[in-house]
Structure 1
């Protein structure tokens, strides 16, 4: 009897992470939900379980390497790791940005991804058919004013994905990067602007149908369920209203 494949999703307490957990559970994975907010992931795990799927919640800070290494001991074999934990802080120009914001973004987006990837790579390899997803952003591919720290962090993730793919070619592990453009979730812009809902709303003002968390989760679900010999190196997904990071059609 074939064992149910296990998928670890970081940053699963809300937004894209939570939507991805639901999508992968419905696709037949036993999902392991990680995030710092224990109550959120426990509620999501209960929801997924009630829907007839398998889910476990594990409170985890991806920047805490000791905690990550302890978490990794639970897995001898692992089918899928979705490195989703991350986020943006501030939108200040380089000349006046707070270095602490840049440091925090780098620690969460880049070092967090590095920590989980290093810790779980042996289990992914042992599975004989492992997949690593790195959720970057179109910010990883193109700069924009006010985005220096976030662009730098997401570019770091992009380079991590490219380099890892080169280094582990020939092993039974795929490295997939998904780079979303404008995604409207409950928390991303609000967190970036430190709870200022007015500023957060302006990001999406007049934009006809920005991406949703479910759109990105569907994209991830498609990429990881391709045949094992097919690697989606980089998948850029934007709403139709967005042509680039700086070119967005607004009906205002």
Structure 2
């Protein structure tokens, strides 16, 4: 079995101009698991049912008894579909595997990985805009915000999956953050901010985000074992 890896997680969020903060984050280390799983969900809509879906999905994804991120997303789907008070959401989940992470996603929440001065977006937005781009058609800007796959609607083949080898940092972000801050801002926050998650949310707010803005930053500690520290702030 590959060794457990320690990590430090920071998360921050802002409601922004919305009525409800329908973003949610979760972190959980299952007994015997090879580290802590992380998830971020973004509810579709601006009401309590959207928030409920995000909370259920994030919690179910990190607590799923699996090392397969697609199965973790399907566990989130089951939790949402069986709750009459839940609407829909998008989701990213990061499951540890030694020094690596396995990533699963549906919708347009994102995961970035950083090593040194290199930042890479490791997820692909499942939006109507990207659907048309893949077919050689220039999309309308409004299509950037229309998801074609969600927790409630996805099928197993539609779930995005990838593996990130030994990142120094992982950044999980809702579109209220990544829609307003660029790669340079993310790297500056990771390198210089004492609380990079809060720095990213504040930067998105200053840039005029019109959505909930949530970031979860995981600092990976290769070669070190132990419990993960996660600081969750509103």
Is TM-score (shorter-chain normalized) higher than 0.5? no
Q: Which structure is higher in helix share?
A: 1
Which structure has the larger Rg over C-alpha atoms? 1
TM-score, length-normalised on structure 2?
0.37
